[in-house]
Structure 1
Amino acid sequence: MSQRNENKNKMAVTILTGFLGSGKTTLLQRLILKAKDSGQKVAIIMNEFGSFDVDSKLLGDDVSTQSLLNGCICCSLKDDIEVVLHNLYHKENPDLVLIEATGIAHPVEVVDACQNPTLIDKVEMPSIIGVMDGKRYLERTRYTKQTKHLMEEQMLYSHIVVINKSDALSANEREELEQSLLSFKHPPKLHFTNYSNIDGIEIPVNEVLSIEGKHSHHHGIQSMNYTFSGPIDMQLLIQFLRQLPDSILRIKGFLKFDEEPEQTYLFQYAFGVPQYEPEIMNMPLTIVIIGEELDKAHLRNKLDMLNFS
């Protein structure tokens, strides 16, 4: 982790970009610890595409965290991020601001929001860390053309690319990823790892970002929230997940199950794989579903059946 830049009057900013389910929040948690260990004062800005903020609830109360909901900071919330950065500078003056963009955000637009003329004397040129699930990136042609293009551009503009779940990559797959990423006009530094381990990463400060050509927004992705009234049957949940179409890209939130009605679980689902992690705090039993052209009425009906069975 780089020490605070020479200009003490400016905040260093690092943007975490990467598609849904790539491991950005785990990386964020590691970066927070690394910053604290180096004596830096750190602040967090988290963007959730939906109206329920899952990830900031996982960071605890000892870190200054600002949540931007119901939109994407690369388009509809650009003005909001400028306001938040101004407030952070004047009220908290952190050494480092970590921004976790929603999985469908374009990093160039986030940089643009951070470099508004009113912020030039307060914020350094942001560094961008791209995070990917290596195998899923290699399989990106299974998604729509727009989604595939966004996944590629999130890496194209990154100074560093963290390739997660690298132990699942064969030697040929690793070589294919390296050749693809290093073929960029401005090749990023590559970091193959598991669980977003960032030992050895040095984050550049105030490094110029080359922005060329037209970049895309992803307006075809939607989100919806659903709150359960109590514990649910795990087997019925599994049946629900098995019936989901490929257009469902991500589900995350908090659940309780009939088998352990007092235990709350952080639930995550991406690329057809569910994950359950015990949660110490008693969180609201709400999940966020993100996907392309969601049939919200159909999904809500299925979730009602799951909720009230």
Structure 2
Amino acid sequence: MIDVYLLSGFLGSGKTSLLMNLISELKEIGRKPAVLMNEFGSISIDSDTVGQSQDVPLKELLNGCICCSGSEKTEAQLQGLLEEHDVDVILIETTGAAHPVEALDAVYSPLFAEKLRVKGIVTVADTKRWLERDKMSPQIRSLFMEQIRHAHIILANKTDLLTEGELATVSMELSNFNNTAPVIQTTKAQLSFSFIEETLGNIQNDEVKTVISGKHLPLTSKLLTFEKAVDKEEFEMWVRSLPDTVYRMKGYVPLKGAKNPYLFQYAYGMVNWMPEYVKMEARLVIIGEGVSQLKYQ
């Protein structure tokens, strides 16, 4: 039996950071991990990053959620991982717009009944976003809460952005909201695989419920491309001018004076730049509500 772990959480919460941490630890202890990633939209930014830096078998799903509407594609990608590679653990990172129970429903296929053992759902919760969840639209807030409600382990992530009082409030509220999942305070989604493995038990089939699909959410994505390098300060000024309904940006931005485009990530008002040592295609994915009209200069 191959163990399957589902990584859930809202856009920009830190799921990919958790995934990278877990892959590194699994390889260090001699395990053979494989990854199934779901990207929001048609561009594989996170998949490219994981695939290049971690050297693990990886399959991706684009344009939607791992859910009822995409279950056939999910089955095909899982089948590919099992047939093409020698693996003993599969990590599935859902898109930030996916309901975790729906994703589990797709994994519970008769094709894999004797091959896969679903261990549970690890949800990464952005603690700052939790404190200001009332600013989200009702439908998006509902998804954000559902991802936490169905978790078997909750990472209260980005704790370095909170005061001690705020952190105590978030931890207590998360515990009360989902009183069956341990709440682990983390920075940069640092949590050991051994803790997850010891904590999670098998999920029974009767836990899978019918839910509203993430595809009905008013989230859209917009792809920006760059014809020339941009000024970093001017670009960040533009980012700060965007509406609150922009939840996530990720991609590669060409900067003046830099040889290669930088990996750029944005979530909930916070920006992060990382240099790349290979030349990546300059493109940026914006995810949010009503983002189709957005453009840079």
- Asked whether the equivalents of residues 41 and 63 of structure 2 are also in contact (C-alpha less than 8 Å), the reply is yes
The one-letter code matched in structure 1 to 2:11 is: L
Q: For 2:42, which of 48, 51, 58 is the aligned residue?
A: 51
What are the within-5 Å matches in structure 2 for residues 25-36 of structure 1?
25-36=16-27
Cα separation, 2, equivalents of 1:216 and 1:175:
33
Unpaired segments of 5 or more residues in structure 2? none
Q: Give the structure 2 partner of residue 192 of structure 1.
A: 185
Quote how far apart the aligned CAs of 1:89 are.
2.0
Q: For 1:175, which of 145, 154, 168 is the aligned residue?
A: 168
Cα separation, 2, equivalents of 1:286 and 1:15:
28
- Number of corresponding residues: 290
The one-letter code matched in structure 1 to 2:164 is: A
Cα separation, 2, equivalents of 1:261 and 1:175:
42
Matched position secondary structure for 1:257: coil
Give every structure 1 segment of 4 or more consecutive aligned residues whose post-TM-superposition deviation is greater than 4 Å.
Answer: 211-216
What are the within-5 Å matches in structure 2 for residues 124-163 of structure 1?
124-163=117-156
Cα separation, 2, equivalents of 1:27 and 1:58:
13
RMSD: 2.0
The one-letter code matched in structure 1 to 2:267 is: A
Q: For 1:273, which of 250, 270, 274 is the aligned residue?
A: 270
Q: Give the structure 1 partner of residue 231 of structure 2.
A: 233
Quote how far apart the aligned CAs of 1:104 are.
0.7
Q: Give the structure 1 partner of residue 260 of structure 2.
A: 263
Q: Give the structure 1 partner of residue 240 of structure 2.
A: 242
* CA 255–176 in structure 1, closer or farther in 2 if over 3 Å, else same: same
Matched position secondary structure for 1:177: helix
Q: Give the structure 2 partner of residue 114 of structure 1.
A: 107
Matched position secondary structure for 2:31: coil
Quote how far apart the aligned CAs of 1:244 are.
0.9
Deviations 1:93-145 (A, max 9, x none): 41001111111110001100000222211211242110022111121110101
Deviations 1:50-101 (A, max 9, x none): 1111112222262111111111112432221111112222332410011111
* CA 184–140 in structure 1, closer or farther in 2 if over 3 Å, else same: closer
Q: For 2:62, which of 65, 69, 75 is the aligned residue?
A: 69
Quote how far apart the aligned CAs of 1:235 are.
3.1
Deviations 1:156-205 (A, max 9, x none): 11111111121333333233223322224652111111111114623225
TM-score by length of 1: 0.87
Q: For 1:292, which of 286, 289, 292 is the aligned residue?
A: 289
- Asked whether the equivalents of residues 155 and 185 of structure 2 are also in contact (C-alpha less than 8 Å), the reply is yes
Q: Give the structure 2 partner of residue 5 of structure 1.
A: none
Q: Give the structure 1 partner of residue 219 of structure 2.
A: 221
- Does 2:81 match 1:88? yes
Matched position secondary structure for 1:253: strand
* CA 211–174 in structure 1, closer or farther in 2 if over 3 Å, else same: farther
- Asked whether the equivalents of residues 42 and 97 of structure 1 are also in contact (C-alpha less than 8 Å), the reply is yes
- Asked whether the equivalents of residues 102 and 211 of structure 2 are also in contact (C-alpha less than 8 Å), the reply is no
Deviations 1:210-264 (A, max 9, x none): 4568555352101121221231122331232122111111111001112x24132
The one-letter code matched in structure 2 to 1:268 is: Q
The one-letter code matched in structure 1 to 2:24 is: L
Q: For 1:37, which of 25, 28, 40 is the aligned residue?
A: 28
Cα separation, 2, equivalents of 1:125 and 1:45:
14
Cα separation, 1, equivalents of 2:86 and 2:187:
33
TM-score by length of 2: 0.91
Q: Give the structure 1 partner of residue 116 of structure 2.
A: 123
- Does 2:15 match 1:24? yes
